[in-house]
Amino acid sequence: MTDTIFKSVKAFTPRKKKQHYTVHIIKKKSFKSWLKKQSKVVAELAKSHGFAPEDNKTLLSGTDIYSIVPDTIKLYEGAKICQSVEKLLTQDTIKKATFGFDGVTGTDAELLSIGWGLGCYSFDTYKSEKSAKPTLVLADNEKNAPVFSKVGSIYAVRDLVNIPSNDLGPEELEKVIKALAKQHDASVKVVKDQKKLEQDFPLVFTVGKASPRLPRLIELNWGNAKDPKITLVGKGVVFDTGGLDIKPSQYMRYMKKDMGGAAHTIALAKLIMDHKLPVRLRLLVPAVENAVAGEAFRPGDIIKSRKGLFVENTNTDAEGRLILADTLTYASEGKPELIIDYATLTGSARAGLGPDIPALFSNNDKIAAKIQKTSEKAEDPVWAMPLWQPYRKHIEKSTGDLVNSAGLPGDLIYSALFLESFVDDKTDWVHLDCYAWEHSGRAGRPVGGSDTGLLTLFTYLQDRYG
């Protein structure tokens, strides 16, 4: 099922069909002047349907659709219009028709198009009956490239998280990254010989060794060696039982999403390469399944990490930070100027910030502040949290050098401090603890795999390097 990742976005088409609807965009401040210019038929229709800025926002008249939007157009406004169109028209009409915007240009048109694309997303790979989505006429050219890239990258995150674990293991994740590399003339190397993995990435090996689907470290490299080096690290736990500290069923239900960190970094890599940012990009994904078997690692086991630090495993359900530890050590060895890691890591981040806002940590306060400020512009919130060093005492009380889980309230901070232990202190580092799932369902954000912080991180990198 992974062969559908990175395919063309079906929400857009370069050609009009015989039955074409024009979506006329009307900003609230322009509504009165717009209404005065309309024919008597449209004016009466608007009145009878309560079509006004404070009431119904979408009106259908023949093949004309009128939509009222805020004076400042936001990212998901196009998704709301798309959703309204689906309610106005039958499935048969949507299959036969195309749609196009009128009355907007520039940034407004781009935002509405991105929103429309996100509104058209549906994960129907495993449905026998598929619903049609309204197709927006949009040429796949240089002008519209940012729309296709952003929508396609967000689709990739959602698809990767939504695909069930029986169809997305470490091997399939490797194939996805290789497919992305092929599109962008990037190179990929994979460490999956188990003896070599045990020797070079002992924590990755330890977490994944109980599964018949063998663990591996996947590495993509792209760009000019002379450009600034940045490295992305994504937690790739394709399914998390919790190991011997097994999760209750209600918490294991959605653990196909525990590779949400990898999904985000894969999509972020795509955005970087799509936009040809002048950076030397490295993407690292430790891909494992945390399974229960006779070979599974145990609470109390002490493992020597790639960095040489001895880690006492106090909880096999705190496995994500283990595989990230070895990978962050490896990332630091390449001496990049910036490392960004993404992980579905802690329940305490969700308790503190809810599902929509990733917890952001950084060893550089200026970078953290800049990213949080950027999130306002990108309409994609993140929230900076403290790397509170006095709490380090909680992870250093160990028979070894560190424990992977302190077992105290505040785990999002302890886990970030744990990860910081494996990053070169001369390297700027950013860590995002995300949820990667939408429970409620909203326009442009259906129930299922969800992107959070992706556009913010890309916008930050674009501002910094672009």
Q: At 236, is the pLDDT very low, low, confident or very high (cuts 50, 70, 90)? A: very high
Q: What is the pLDDT of residues 451-461, one digit of tens each?
A: 999 999 999 99
- The answer to whether 321 is a known catalytic residue is yes
Within 10 angstroms of residue 272's Cβ, the number of other Cβ atoms is 26
Residue 82 has pLDDT above 90, yes or no: yes
Which candidate in 10, 247, 392, 464 is catalytic?
Answer: 247
CA distance 109 to 223: 31
Q: How confident is the model at residue 3 (pLDDT cuts 50, 70, 90)?
A: confident
Domains of the chain as residue ranges with CATH: 15-120 (3.40.220.10), 163-465 (3.40.630.10)
Model confidence at 79: pLDDT above 80: yes
Write down the catalytic residue from 57, 307, 321, 350.
321
Strands in 402-403's sheet, in edge-to-edge order, are 302-304, 310-312, 402-403
The pLDDT assigned to 1 comes to 67
Mean pLDDT computed over 264-268: 98
What does the pLDDT look like over 271-328, one tens digit per residue?
999 999 999 999 999 999 999 999 999 999 999 999 999 999 999 999 999 999 999 9
Q: How confident is the model over 419-429, as pLDDT tens digits?
A: 999 999 999 99
Whether 270 is catalytic is no
Provide the pLDDT confidence category of residue 225 given band limits of 50, 70 and 90.
Answer: very high
Mean pLDDT of all residues in 209-219? 98
CA torsion, ordered 407, 408, 412, 415, to nearest 10 deg: -40
Looking up tokens 């919130």 gives: 381
